Amino acid sequence: MTLQKNSAENKENIRIAFIYTMGEYVVPQLINKYSLSPSRHNVTFSFTQGTSLTLLQELKAGKSDLAICSYIADEPDIDFIPIIQQELVVVTAKDHPLARLYENEVDLVETIHYPYIYFSENSGLRPFIDNVFMQQKLVPDIACYVDEDTAMAGLVSIDYGIAIMPRISALSYYNVHILKIKNAIPPRYIYLATMKERVLSPAIQSFKDVIINDSQKIR
């Protein structure tokens, strides 16, 4: 019992929070990369998933050490470091008219007559996509709002609407057609968020370094 207690006391826990799309592949691979060093076998992890707004609230409240999420404006106490560039695509049902007309790519003006499944205000991607439409001087017809990508893909697959969303690997599991966006749009990044004035332990700092150096490589 004493040995078990001492072993538990010597372990350090890293609390990592991340948006849903990072949980399928990116975060597991980062943890695997970090854990390969024998000196890090005493480190454990706790995980939280959610929307970017929720994750940043927990980060500020001290409930997590690091967050992988979208950039959120007006957060002066948080340091955002871009770690992954994501491609945004138009996604339709397999038998949608756009899927029949366009094989590989589409101009957004051709999509505007069809109802959109749109990210809600809880999503960190919402302001970015709003800005894409504003830059193109287009107003989407919004059928409904969702918080996260898998719900969006599921609704698209039953032809409830079309969507602009990140090209995630999970799309291969759905009955959807993926089209590149012909328009010139700004790059979309995923960020590592930390509190500017919060001192990180050596273990957390070393995992932060792994995230910064290796996230884009494992995409």
CATH of residue 209: 3.40.190.10
Tell me the per-residue pLDDT of 183-193, one tens digit each, with 9 for 90 and over: 999 999 999 99
**Same domain, yes or no: 204 and 134:** no
**Same domain, yes or no: 106 and 34:** no
Classify residue 125 by its DSSP letter.
T
**Same domain, yes or no: 175 and 94:** yes
pLDDT at position 24 over 90? no
Q: Which among 131, 11, 12, 29 is positioned nearest to 70, based on CA atoms?
A: 131
Confirm if 166 and 123 have CB atoms less than 8 A apart.
Answer: no
Tell me the per-residue pLDDT of 159-197, one tens digit each, with 9 for 90 and over: 999 999 999 989 999 999 999 999 999 999 999 999 999
pLDDT at position 214 over 60? yes
**Same domain, yes or no: 125 and 79:** no
pLDDT of residue 219: 58
Angle between helices 26-35 and 202-214 (to 10 degrees): 120
Residue ranges making up the domain that contains 43: 2-84+189-218
**Same domain, yes or no: 194 and 184:** no
For residue 147, the SS3 value is coil
**Same domain, yes or no: 128 and 95:** yes
Looking at the chain, the whole-number percentage of residues with pLDDT higher than 70 is 95
**Torsion over CA of 171, 156, 119 and 26, rounded to 10 degrees?**
-10
**Same domain, yes or no: 140 and 178:** yes
**Same domain, yes or no: 131 and 152:** yes
**Same domain, yes or no: 205 and 144:** no
**Same domain, yes or no: 135 and 171:** yes
**Same domain, yes or no: 19 and 64:** yes
Considering its fold, how many domains does the chain have in total? 2
**Same domain, yes or no: 58 and 33:** yes
Query: How long a stretch of residues is the chain?
Result: 219
